[in-house]
Chain A
Amino acid sequence: MNEAAASPIVAELRERIQRLEGKRAHRRAVLPFGIKEIDQHLPGGGLALGALHEAAGGGNGAIDGAAAALFAAGIAARTRGKILWCVARQDLFAPALAQAGLPPDRVIYVEAGDEKSVLSCFEEGLRHGGLGGVVAEVARLSMTASRRLQLAAESSGAIGVAIRRWRRQAEAAEFGQPTASVTRWRVTALPSAPLPVPGVGRARWRLELIRCRAGESADFEVEACDAKGRLHLPSDLAHRPDQKKAGRHRAAG
């Protein structure tokens, strides 16, 4: 990917394609994860702002969307401004989002009742322009709907995260269908970081970048969001960067 970017012919072609697509000539703003291994897989070195991204849970997470919600909260926490969170039915627990770096004062929830209203609220929020990000929990996302959302996000510069969440495991196969989103992620819970004493350590996820426009897919094993919404790559216990913070949640059990 880096080699390809180095070649002037490819760079010129890419610029020409961008011009054909009618996008601005300058490079789009991005929101880096702050982890070199992940950022180098993403064009521009981070999640594109003003674009639609998708995230879903793996396994049972496809139904409860618990890890995907925290992943989205972590992304939203690192933007500036208010966040609009659209759901069909509310089952989020706000203290958990606060622990992922998203304080309650920043999040406005819309309980839209059905899928169709969720999508229309999602689009309205992306179009507004005064928000840092918009998160919506949807099951079905057609090509047309996602195209509209992507255009709305481009026009305002807000980041949109669609949490894909289904009622039944069988419906989750729909995640293979194409949409207009820029990246697509799958977040699966892994056994937590080992601790020297009994207890549950910092949560770990398998983060799969399933699809990425102008990039290649990849997967990573990461530690879940900290209190600022940042992910970390697990390292050995001896030289872990924030051993202290992870240990705070530990208890004698």
Chain B
Amino acid sequence: MLVGRDGRRRVVLAVDAAAQAAGLDVGMPVTKAQALTPGLIVMDADPEADAEALERLALWALQRYAPIAAADPPDGVVLDISGAAHLHGGEDAMVKGMVERIVAAGIAARAALADSWGAAHALARFAPRPSIIIPTGESAKAILGLPIRALRLPKDMVDGLRVLGFESIGELAATPRAPLALRFGPELGRRLDQALGRLCEPIDPVRPPDLVEIRRAFAEPIGAAETIARYTGKLVVLLCDALEAKGLGARRLDLVFHRVDNRIGAIRIGTALPVRDAKRLTRMLCDKIETIDPGFGIEIMRLAASVAEPLEAKQTISSLTDEPEADVSALIDALANRVGEDRIYRFAPVASDVPERSVARIAPLAPGTGEGWPDHWPRPSRLLAVPEPIDALALLPDHPPASFTWRGVRRRVKRADGPERVFGEWWKRDAELAAVRDYFQVEDEAGERFWIYRAGDGEDAATGSQRWFLHGLFG
């Protein structure tokens, strides 16, 4: 429980889950809380440290997730992810991954994705689920059921509204504006419009101190895609010069557009290795220009290398005999910007006998492992994500089935190889202490080859259910 001062009283500012279960709540006097719960751990709140940590979190989010990020005191971070979600496999995967990462660091986190800052703010704090994504254009509808506390209003205004009988945002939005403005001032209407997305609210992004950034303001706002592309090229050249002076290469580039109507649009690209090649970066940025809506025109363009890493001039190999391996990093960057960084990968062997655990995904440009899988047994070229149960007739304990039925088709087994026994990884997972799978390669009359297994060794019930599954298809 955290304690702070509100005027002359000492009140509770924050409680953890255990304290909440004991009936404590934010805003309660400390003396009352202590009287209610024996053994309460009371700590003083440190708002400055909180603000600093929030600032650090915003910087982390800026480098990792989105081109525009800012702390949203007292307890939030706001991100504008337009133009950045594609690098993380779409909005769903991005929000989920973000929450998981923060939770893994020991911080309770909730996230919401909506059309406006106000709506996202309200949903992140008051939605029933810890992470929620609202489709474009439906944010206004989604927040109508939330309590008026979600509107970022001063506390006395919320109390005043409650006295008048308002509970949810929907009731407030349906009420004529003028009498409310007369009583509570313009703040209420402004917050309501911001949440409903009628009033725009620019985010003032955090900026790391050593950011390499080029900025260009235009006397006349620009709007045509060709013009934007031309100036992008100019900015990239300047940025590459600045990076070269520092010996850096860009890993992430943010191109931020400030529109005349005070809205901000952004493009973010990522590269697998540090890059300082103006032509390549320009091409990657220009691929994304169509996602930008220039509106009434763009007055400022800002290009920043939000993540930069040392890049030294490299000596190329000029050998007489071998052809050097072609550099595919440009291709990988182009593809990663199209489908997402985690969707382009290589497979690497993992020392595990369980087939689905024997492959791991690694970065496409990771150094070659030079290893392979043990080659004693043939492996199927297609592996089903989840083994499918089949009906099979087989002699126990170690004969292959004489026939089996898969997806409604009965197949007679002509030839078979096996069993190849795979033991559970008991040294890693207790549940697999006795687990066994017996794999068979079987061939039907038509010559189609399947990889099937029996869960269990055919004798001991502790080793598995003794049911048959189909796991893969050979060519």
A131 to chain B, nearest CB (A): 7
Mark out the residues of chain B between 293 and 341 whose CB falls within 8 Å of any chain A CB in the assembled complex. 325-328, 330-332, 334-335, 338-339
A110 and B415 contact, CB distance less than 8 A:
no
Q: B414 to chain A: which residues have CB within 8 Å? A: 191
When distances are taken between beta carbons in the complex, the residues of chain B under 8 Å from A204 are 447
> Among the listed stretches A2-10, A12-20, A116-124, A236-244, which one makes contact with chain B, having 4 or more residues with CB under 8 Å of it?
A116-124
Q: Contacting chain B: which of A42-50, A86-94, A212-220?
A: A86-94
Of B67-75, B142-150, B216-224, B377-385, the stretch lying at the interface with chain A is: B377-385
Indicate if B358 sits at the interface (CB-CB under 8 A). Answer: yes
Q: Tell me whether B6 is interfacial, beta carbon within 8 Å.
A: no
CB distance from B361 to the nearest CB of A (A): 8
Contact of A107 among B332, B346, B375, B416 (CB under 8 A): B346
| Closest residue on chain A to residue B328 by CB atoms | A130
Contact across chains for A105 and B346 when beta carbons are under 8 A apart? yes
Could you tell me the distance between the alpha carbons of A250 and B358 in the complex, rounded to whole angstroms? 22
A110 contacts B380, C-beta separation under 8 Å: no
Given the contacts A125-B331, A204-B447, A66 and B475 also touching, CB distance less than 8 Å:
yes
Q: In the assembled complex, which residues on chain A have CB atoms less than 8 Å from the CB atom of B358?
A: 95
Interface string of A70-102 (1 = CB under 8 A from B): 110100000001101000000111111111100
| A249 CB-CB contact with B under 8 Å | yes
Query: Least Cβ distance of A143 to chain B in Å?
Result: 24
Q: Does B400 contact A (CB under 8 A)?
A: yes
Residue A31 is within 8 A (CB to CB) of chain B in the complex: no
Instruction: Name the A residues within 8 Å of B326 (CB-CB).
Output: 81-82, 129-131
Tell me if A66 and B347 are in contact (CB < 8 A).
Answer: no
The answer to whether A253 touches B449 (Cβ under 8 A) is: no
- Distance A114 CA – B385 CA, assembled complex (angstroms): 18
Count the B residues whose beta carbon is within 8 Å of the partner chain — how many? 58
Q: Which residue of B lies closest to A108 (CB)?
A: B364
A9 to B12, CA, bound (A): 98
| Chain A interface, number of residues (Cβ within 8 angstroms) | 64
Alpha-carbon distance A128/B348, docked complex (angstroms):
24
Which of A73, A82, A93 neighbours the largest number of chain B CB atoms within 10 Å of its CB? A93
B448 at the binding interface (Cβ < 8 Å): yes
Docked CA distance A74–B345 (Å): 21
- Which residues B373-417 have CB closer than 8 A to chain A? 373, 375, 377-385, 400, 414-417
A120 to chain B, nearest CB (A): 7
Q: What is the bound-complex CA distance between A73 and B326, given in angstroms?
A: 20
Q: A96-B381, A98-B372, A130-B328 are in contact. Are A192 and B443 (CB under 8 A)?
A: yes
Whether A121 contacts B328 by the Cβ 8 Å rule is: no
Among B326, B442, B447, chain A packs the most CB atoms within 10 A around the CB of B447
Distance A113 CA – B92 CA, assembled complex (angstroms): 14
Q: Are B378 and A249 in contact (CB under 8 A)?
A: yes
CB of A203 within 8 A of chain B? yes
Q: A189-B449, A190-B447 are in contact. Are A97 and B381 (CB under 8 A)?
A: yes
B475 touches A112 (CB 8 A): no
CB contacts (< 8 Å) of B419 on chain A: these are 253
Interface of A is mostly: mixed
Interface residues of A in 195-253 (CB under 8 A from B): 198-201, 203-205, 224, 227, 249-251, 253
Assembled-state Cα–Cα distance A111/B347 (Å)? 12
The answer to whether B331 touches A93 (Cβ under 8 A) is: no
Q: Say yes or no: A200-B331 contact (C-beta < 8 A), given A59-B446, A82-B326, A110-B339.
A: no
The CA-CA distance from A57 to B382 in the complex, in Å, is 13
| Shortest distance between the CB of B222 and any CB in chain A (Å) | 28
With both chains docked as a complex, state the minimum distance between the C-beta of A56 and any C-beta of chain B, in angstroms. 12
**Which residue of B338, B400, B417 contacts A117 across the interface (Cβ within 8 Å)?**
B338
A110 touches B343 (CB 8 A): yes
A159 at the interface (CB under 8 A from B): no
**A32 to chain B: which residues have CB within 8 Å?**
none
Query: Does A187 sit within 8 A of B, measured CB to CB?
Result: yes
User: Within the assembled complex, what's the spacing in Å between the Cα atoms of A102 and B380?
Assistant: 14
Interchain Cβ contacts under 8 Å between A and B, 22 examples: A59-B446, A67-B381, A70-B381, A91-B384, A92-B383, A99-B378, A104-B372, A107-B347, A109-B344, A109-B345, A109-B347, A110-B343, A121-B339, A125-B335, A129-B326, A192-B415, A198-B415, A199-B415, A200-B417, A250-B417, A253-B400, A253-B419
Query: Which of A's residues lie within 8 Å of B, judged by CB?
Result: 57, 59-61, 64-71, 73, 81-82, 84, 91-100, 103-105, 107-113, 117, 120-121, 124-125, 128-131, 187-192, 198-201, 203-205, 224, 227, 249-251, 253
Q: Given A104-B349, A203-B474, list of 8 further CB < 8 A pairs?
A: A69-B475, A91-B385, A96-B381, A108-B344, A110-B343, A117-B338, A191-B414, A204-B447
